[in-house]
């Protein structure tokens, strides 16, 4: 089955950019997502990218996809303390009935 790997922690200073990385194993992955989870809450879909895209930008968020290396990244520009949360990478493919497989999540800590 699909494996999705993320680093567990990232610490940045307020105002800096954050880059959260994710790798996956299934080259047929079609939909790639980034979710945000704040303490005690459910998951909020931040953004997604299709496998036929290399990059997607949405305000402060930039998603980069390297299909050859099966590497996905999320860049948050001008990181704020309110961005502190756990960020989950998830990928889905037709072989998996489009049910996403989640990584373990990256805990982003933003220091003032």
Partner 1 sequence: GAVVSQHPSWVICKSGTSVKIECRSLDFQATTMFWYRQFPKQSLMLMATSNEGSKATYEQGVEKDKFLINHASLTLSTLTVTSAHPEDSSFYICSAHSGGYEQYFGPGTRLTVT
Q: In the complex, which residues of this chain contact partner 1 (CB under 8 A)? A: 31, 35, 40-45, 48, 88, 92, 97-100, 102-105, 107
- 4 versus 110: smaller Cβ distance to partner 1: 4
Tokens of 21: 């990385």
Beta carbon of residue 98, minimum distance to partner 1 (angstroms, whole number): 7
4 alpha-carbon distance from chain centroid = 11
At its nearest, how many Å lie between partner 1 and the CB of residue 91?
12
- Half-sphere exposure (CA, 13 Å, Cβ side) for 65? 23
Q: Output 9 or 17, the one with its CB closest to partner 1.
A: 9
* Nearest residue to 101 via CA among 2, 31, 27: 2
Question: What's the N-to-C CA distance of the chain in angstroms?
Answer: 40
CB nearer to partner 1: give 14 or 30. Answer: 30
For residue 48, the minimal CB distance to partner 1 (Å) is 7
């Amino acid at each position: 089955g699909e494996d999705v790997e993320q680093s567990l922690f990232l610490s940045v200073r307020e105002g800096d950019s954050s880059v959260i990385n994710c790798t996956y194993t299934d080259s047929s992955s079609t939909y790639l997502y980034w979710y945000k989870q704040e303490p005690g809450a459910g998951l909020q879909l931040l953004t997604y990218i299709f496998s036929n895209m290399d990059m997607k930008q949405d305000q402060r968020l930039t998603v980069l996809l390297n299909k050859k290396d099966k590497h996905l990244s999320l860049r948050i520009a001008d990181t704020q303390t309110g961005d502190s949360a756990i960020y989950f990478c998830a990928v889905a493919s037709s072989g998996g009935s489009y049910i996403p497989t989640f990584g373990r999540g990256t805990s982003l800590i933003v220091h003032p």
